[in-house]
Structure 1
Amino acid sequence: MTLEACAELVSRGDPDRFLAAMAAPPEARERLFPLYAFNLEVARAPWVSAEPMIGQMRLQFWRDVLAEIGAGAAPRAHEVVRPLAEVVRRDGLPLAPLDEMARARWADLERAPFADAGALGDYLAATAGSLMWASVAALGGEEGLEAPARAVGRASGLAGWLLAVPELEARGWPARPEGLADLIGTAREDLARARAARFGPALPAIRAAWRAPAVLARAAHAPEAIAAGGLEGSDFARRGSLLVKTLTGRW
């Protein structure tokens, strides 16, 4: 029930965010790892069983946890719940974006592909977009940063989705809905506009999206690379780009 347990969960289940968090100052990691671990828990909840009722129960568990944290109840004995409660209560973190993340995952219980790119964009806004805003808020980001933070998160979520397309389609999941090219273009524009925002001490949270610009650029310029698995790039380039951005104070 420690920060280390949250970091271990993120290391195994979300290596890109783990690397970004490890590049952040220690005090930022204390806030980011519980949020990233919570994200993993709600993302996995719909898939733990072929029975939707089990997924519903797990998602409701996390919504109940958030309500209890907000009410000041003693946190449950869970490796993620206690560190999450500490972050929320110590830093006055708003619970609404976290609850939005859990509610959005109900869509996964339906096991149905997105009707169009607009539906996919809405899903990414509620999941990755909400997580990014919660992360920025946890590091002291002001309300005026909500819109750009959500836009960066949504774009980062789309980049992650595009990287997963080959595996999704190999499993028979139609992962490229109608209008995907337009969604990619909008995400790139959102990233460009967000660079004007002054994230200040919340920059380590935004840096979790460090791969998004390159992935989205490759997808826009070579759409055929999406299904072919050509968006990934080398591990050396991936880690190197994070190092450069960290050292230069960019994202």
Structure 2
Amino acid sequence: ECENMAAGLSAQYGLISSRRSVSNKLFTHAVCVQKPRAARCLSAGASSDLSAQQHEEYCLKLVRSRDYEGFVCSLLLPEAARRSSLALKAFNVELAQVKDSVSQKTIGLMRMQFWKTVVEDIYRDDPPVQPVSVELWRAVRKHTLTRRWLLRIIAEREKDMEDRAYRNLQELESYAENTQSSLLYLQLETLGVKNVHADHAASHIGKAHGIVTCLRATPYHSQRRRVYLPMDICMLHGASQEDFIRGSREQNVRDVVYDIASQAHVHLQHKFLTVAIVPVLQVSIEDYLQRVRKVDFDVFHQSLQKRNPLLPIRLYLQSWKKRY
């Protein structure tokens, strides 16, 4: 039902071609095709409509498979910002999946360096021929996106390659600010919004999103014997990493989840957006916090591992009512 809803929204906004589909073998890896400047299809102005469509559909499918809620939220943005929002989210997905896709830190750092080079090439108006790079280049040109936000996301993801738990809640918030909030600043720019109140709200919503993402990923990481929850809160409640690795549902583990979820909720109370500005993640964050509260903060509860089939409808209704 959820997939059908998304497909309907996608068709409504003209993001998925009904006549063409990109082969599953297309762009299966984020490979940069380096060519001489004169030969690069984008810089030389020789890109075909088919190639442009393939790049767009690649990003759409990547976001839909890896960031479903972000995908649905992007569909509800104004048409002028929709494609650029998907490009930004695809860029974020590419960076986010590096850590889990490499076996050695060195390889991960090399991939991060690749994306740093991509961003520099984009701002030299000389992007490599790679789907996410091409779409990001289009977004930068269209909206004059701020380069430092893109580089800050990469730098923070690079630091996160250390693969260790956050020492305290403030460290987790700092990570969320530098990644999720930076992404929101860029999305506000695609909407033509540049003011201190919007940035203030985006900062808090980004922190809330980063905290919730850390909670949601706990079962996934625990299965791989990894725990990233803030150590200070775990120590406060006497919960060890082993408790999370074995999926404990004891009260001390729930207390850790409660404290972390409460901090996300606090950030959501600091929003200052008017109805004309869209904090696209707010609804999905609140949805998770409501669901985890209903199961008494049992982060391993099976219901939390499934998508909420009503979320796309709720997002649409909230957007229609201009309540977010």
TM-score interval, normalised by the smaller of the two chains = 0.7 to 0.9
Q: CA deviation at 1:140?
A: 0.9
Give the conservation status (yes or no) of the 8 Å contact 2:165–2:229: no
Q: CA deviation at 1:220?
A: 5.7
Instruction: Give the structure 1 partner of residue 162 of structure 2.
Output: 110
**1:47/1:166 Cα in 2 relative to 1: closer, same or farther (>3 Å)?**
closer
**1:143/1:61 Cα in 2 relative to 1: closer, same or farther (>3 Å)?**
farther
Give CA-to-partner distance per residue, 1:178-210, whole Å, 9 cap, x none.
Answer: 33544433332221220x32262x41xx22332
Q: CA deviation at 1:235?
A: 2.5
Mapping 1:24-63, distance limit 5 Å: 24-63=77-116
Instruction: Give the structure 2 partner of residue 184 of structure 1.
Output: 261
Q: Distance in 1 between matches of 2:57 and 2:84?
A: 12
Question: Equivalent of 1:211, from 284, 287, 301?
Answer: 284
User: Does residue 198 of the first structure (1) align with residue 274 of the second (2)?
Assistant: yes
Give the conservation status (yes or no) of the 8 Å contact 1:21–1:208: no
TM-score by length of 2: 0.69
Equivalenced residues, count: 246
Instruction: Give the structure 1 partner of residue 3 of structure 2.
Output: none
User: Does residue 23 of the first structure (1) align with residue 100 of the second (2)?
Assistant: no
* Identical positions, percent: 24
Mapping 1:18-167, distance limit 5 Å: 18-70=71-123, 72-144=124-196, 145-167=198-220
Give CA-to-partner distance per residue, 1:44-93, whole Å, 9 cap, x none.
Answer: 223332121111111011111112222x2311111011111111122111
TM-score by length of 1: 0.88
Instruction: Give the structure 2 partner of residue 244 of structure 1.
Output: 317
**1:19/1:92 Cα in 2 relative to 1: closer, same or farther (>3 Å)?**
same
Structure 1: segments with no counterpart, 5+ residues? none
Q: CA deviation at 1:133?
A: 1.4
Give the conservation status (yes or no) of the 8 Å contact 2:205–2:281: no
The structure number with the bigger radius of gyration is 2
Letter in 2 for 1:96: R
Q: Distance in 2 between matches of 1:137 and 1:73?
A: 19
Q: Distance in 2 between matches of 1:90 and 1:234?
A: 33
Q: Distance in 2 between matches of 1:241 and 1:168?
A: 29
Q: Let me know the Cα RMSD of the aligned residues.
A: 2.2
Give CA-to-partner distance per residue, 1:88-126, whole Å, 9 cap, x none.
Answer: 122111011111111111233222122222222211111
Q: Distance in 1 between matches of 2:275 and 2:171?
A: 28
Q: CA deviation at 1:11?
A: 1.1
Question: Equivalent of 1:14, from 46, 56, 67?
Answer: 67
Q: Distance in 1 between matches of 2:165 and 2:202?
A: 26
Give the conservation status (yes or no) of the 8 Å contact 1:35–1:131: yes
More displaced 10-residue stretch of structure 1: 100-109 or 214-223: 214-223
Instruction: Give the structure 1 partner of residue 23 of structure 2.
Output: none
Q: Distance in 2 between matches of 1:92 and 1:44?
A: 26
Give the conservation status (yes or no) of the 8 Å contact 1:35–1:84: yes
Give the conservation status (yes or no) of the 8 Å contact 2:60–2:71: yes
